[in-house]
Structure 1
């Protein structure tokens, strides 16, 4: 077999493509920053400290349909999120220590009122909060008690 046979000619390009794909969070075969709920997987950004949780999805004009943001809190407690400086409508999903859905705030509208934006509280203690594009909870038929599964690169809080 010579170096120009079809089976060898494309190997370097294929290898480069696979390496690039593996470094992208939304790539199906690469990266472990994802969550799954109701059989649907979302690539997520993880906010696990005060600064990241405070910034959240502020000032973004869009979020890809298969993406979300996962907020991880130090302990399970009543949570309240708001939409300060958030430009996209969201579903805010609250999960307990066991990653079971305990509360939902669906179709939460954007808010440009600064500190005048209303809070959207959980109805039960939560440790994890998942924000998805508005309408996803309805599309998936989410019900309280459903479990969220973490990808391998997301550490379950202790």
Structure 2
């Protein structure tokens, strides 16, 4: 089980995990869009390396990407190349350590 912060407003999503110096191993942040969404995430002013899982409306993981901290522009964009309903950020490498992969499903309570 994972404890997540929910980023459901534009302001929450824009802030994300920027400025954090750590993230507990059993925590993450979920970004909910409530509709099909295109585009990627960037790591500007994010200080910790993260992995991100993009998922569809049914919770199926569509892609998992590892992201590096970025302190100054230009920062790369991490884009799954498909539309998605949400994304889950955790410490880098956590999905692999947990045996989570593309095609698995995210379930939220």
User: TM range, normalised to the smaller chain?
Assistant: over 0.9
Gaps of 5+ in 2: none
Write the deviation string for residues 26-78 of structure 1: whole angstroms up to 9, x where unpaired.
xxxxxxxxxxxxxxx11000000100000000000001110000000131122
Deviation at 1:137, TM superposition (A): 1.4
CA–CA separation in structure 2 for the residues paired with 1:140 and 1:96: 20
Structure 2 counterparts to residues 130-149 of structure 1, below 5 A: 130-149=88-107
Q: Any conservation in 2 of the 1:79–1:126 contact (CA below 8 Å)?
A: no
Unaligned runs of 5+ in 1: 1-40, 152-158
Specify which structure has the higher proportion of helix: 1
Give the number of equivalent residue pairs: 109
Shift >4 Å, 4+ stretches: none
Give the Cα separation in 1 of the matches to 2:32 and 2:85.
Answer: 6
Q: Match of 2:31? A: 71
Q: Equivalent residue of 2:2, what SS?
A: strand
Deviation at 1:141, TM superposition (A): 2.3
Larger Rg: 1
Residue 70 of structure 2: aligned partner: 111
Alignment TM-score, normalising by the size of structure 1: 0.66
Using CA pairs under 8 Å that are at least 6 residues apart, name the structure with larger relative contact order, 1 or 2: 2
- Superposition RMSD on alpha carbons, in Å? 1.0
